Structure 1
Amino acid sequence: MTGFRGMRFVMDLIKRFTPKRESLTGNESISDKQLEESTTTTTLKVMKRHKWSLALGVSAIALTGIITFTGHQYVEAGMVNVYHVKLDGQEIGIVSDNKIIDEYKQRKPQEVQQNFPDVHVVLKTNGVTYEPERAYNVKSDDSAVLATLDKLLVPQPVGTELKVDGKTIAIVKDQQTADQILDQVSAPFAPKAKETAKVSALSTSQGEDITTAPSELEKVEFIQQVDTKEVPIKPDDLAIPEDVVKKLKTGDVQPAKYTVVEGDCVSCIAKKLGITKQFIYDNNPGLQDDKLKIGNQLDVTVLKPTLSVKTTERVVQNQEIQYDTEYVKDDSLRVGVVEPISAGKNGLKKVTIQVTKVDGLMTEEKLVNEEIIDKPVMAKVKKGTKVIQGEGSGKFAWPVVSPSISSTFGMRWGKLHKGIDITGNKNIMTADNGRVTETGYKSDYGNYIIINHLNGYETLYGHLSKITITEGTIVEKGDKIGIMGSTGDSTGVHLHFEIHKSGSLENPLKYLNR
């Protein structure tokens, strides 16, 4: 207070002795220069007269500044940054650094999980928050706050509930385990990887089985609705993953056996149990040809998977395209004769088929795309139109009705038997269309007939008792040409029948079938 009074005293002195702009007489003005000189002189006089009072005022001002600065520094030195920690909005203590809480929230759940390796444990730290404050001389206790959090935060075992069409199937450790189980159920139905290098051209006669052909998986899904959800559990609630996989694949169906009794047959058992014969054979590979033994046990377990796997696959195959043939009529060639002009060539196309399967069995196939790789080249041929009467078809019929062979083609007693001997109905018929080129008698053949079929084949009919046709006659297959007999070198009534092709002997049984 003394310092402030000194300051006011100095100011009052200066004000009192400051000359006014009017003269002391009141009727004359003082110039600015005179006023300035007068003021300076007056100020110096006042300062000399009251020098101790002025010194005291200045000292008071300086002391006040020093006290104020020192007090501020003292208070500032006592200020600290602290963090009020709360759990679900309720304060539980003060820590010195927010990093302590951040590190705790990251570290503690991991430590808890390590203590329970077989169960997925959740430590809910989301409710732990903090608010910063800068205050004077506030005390914090980091360890006490962490200890309180350890006490208040209770680890909760949780599992993943697996549901199929709303029905709980099992509770497993976590979502990863549930995903692995579902993958194991669907994996057997995933198609084999396709190797492009092995894709070969398929002709219409070859035809690769599309149900087992290599394919590219487009989509795999479950027919039923599958849901998973994290739920609180007791450790004993967890199911063994292998058991869950089995349950999803088989429907938890117990094996069924059937014991064979007297009078049973595969079809009888199938009808009795409402299953197919093929199902019984598939489930019992050792069963063959309906051979059952009394007392045998058959596996008749009908699996009903809880989950059915639907796959959509894309099969790409290279298929041949059959070339067309252009026929050019030629009346210089006999009917049935075809001569190539230019060869044809099959084309190639890439066919894309979408195949849908349920549990590995195809339920639908759809052609989605065809791409021509090589166009087919059309063949060009001459086709004969010249009709020649008596030309054979090349397919022979038996020359007698109800034939019976008494001697076959081949070596007999060191000599070649050139044809076959046939007995049966006595009427002899031509084996194919043709022209009678020779009839007559020979010592070995007796009465005989030779027919030229005008296609490279000739037939001979021997040992006839009577010839009913003449040379040059055009005959058709099945026409009567003679009567069976035993003329020439013969030991009984029969027909000796030969076939010649381009002048060479052929075994008639090569062309005749019963």
Structure 2
Amino acid sequence: MVLTKGNLQSYSRLPAKRMIQTCFTLLFFVISLVAVSTVAKADGKSNVYTIYHIYVGDKHIGTLQDDEPVLSYIEETLKEYEKEYPDLSLQIDENIKVIPEMVFNEEKEDEDVLSSLEDKMIVQAEAIALVIDDQPAVYVATIEEAEKAIEKLVTQYVDKEAYEHFQMMVEEDEDLTLKVGEEKITNLSLTEEVIEEESVVLPEEVLSVEDAVLKINKGVLKEQPYIVKEGDVLSSIANNHDLTTAKLLELNKELDVDSVIRVGQEIQVTVYEPLVKVLTTKVEKVEEEIPYQTEVKEDDSMWKGDQKVTQQGQTGIQLLEYEITEQDGNVIQRKVLLEEVTKEPVKKIIVKGTKEMPSRGSGSLGWPAVGGYISSYQGNRWGRFHRGIDIARPNNYNILAADNGTISFAGSQGGYGNLVRINHNNGMETLYAHLDSIDVKVGQTVAKGQKIGVMGQTGHSTGIHLHFEVYENGQLKNPMDYLK
């Protein structure tokens, strides 16, 4: 008979345990009793004994004069297992039979029956197997724990609230309507079919929900390629993949301990591959900006190098619905389901000048200030030779280039203070001194009448004015010979 935790407890409530097994051998026992009684009456003797044959499956392991030791041993064994595994439903694996027999002569019982029973008797637990790829992957105690394990497997990568909402959507066939910034799961699946099957296994094979999920996640070792990176050596690659160097070489027959590996080379390693992965498909609705474009227009009335913005750019707005597929939380596919522009972008318009600025002067100098008068001419003054003319009291303090040219100097120079020199590329050069500020740089091309700075009184100056000098072929000239 098969003894389980349940029926052993029910049998123990019977007044005489020796009668337990008679339900399987009642007919045999009655026939034996009648036969013995008949013989006893025939010879006038009444010495009759009962012995008990102990079987494990079809194998006879011995004979006892009392069945109590066997029953007690089974009961105590189950009690010990119950203490260690209180949440499991336990049973004896083998079919243990106790068969009584009536005999005339008292027989000696086998002393090693219990030790033989101990060797052959296996206690097992009822469990639910999670079968993956036709193989039992893990065992848990109940169908409820199996469901929890699958849920926990999924909610490693899916928010539990989103998971519960998805289940509700499926049950209620909810319409998939999204608000901006909202996402909903549309499909959840596993890469392998997971089947729940009833099973009987050793108690130590039954795992908690947490341990079952860890075992599924860890999976099995599989070979996969590794691409050698800068600084890698065989020992470091092996160590990073929990391998010995010898095992790494075994996986790569073309290598040996003296092999030189190169960056980009492919080497086989082993990694743990999960038994099953979680596939999630979800839809999200987002509002995204549409970047504006920039248009550049040319204007030949503006100097080359000058530009201005005539229309500021504005970003547009669009509504997008994405379908995102993830495997174990990693995005493997993303596609647009719906695209709706709610605000068109406005392009930015920049106007750039194309007018070329001539660098060669005309030879005719223009007045280098905005109005004003000559407060001091070239010649002897205060015991010294005054090299140019001074222009004072202008309408504003802007200083203008006397002709087209290239800036050859722009900075501070002794008694001149802030100074600008223009090479007119025709043998002539003009000098502008005592500036408060300078608006040009060396190498810059300027046009006649272009502002090059602001009048001031830097250097040796008695007031705000412009000191102006003219040179031709390196010789100092009188500005009044060139100014109109």
Whether these two folds match at TM > 0.5 is no
TM-score range, shorter chain: 0.3 to 0.5
TM normalised by structure 2 equals 0.37
Instruction: Give the TM-score normalised by the residue count of structure 1.
Output: 0.35
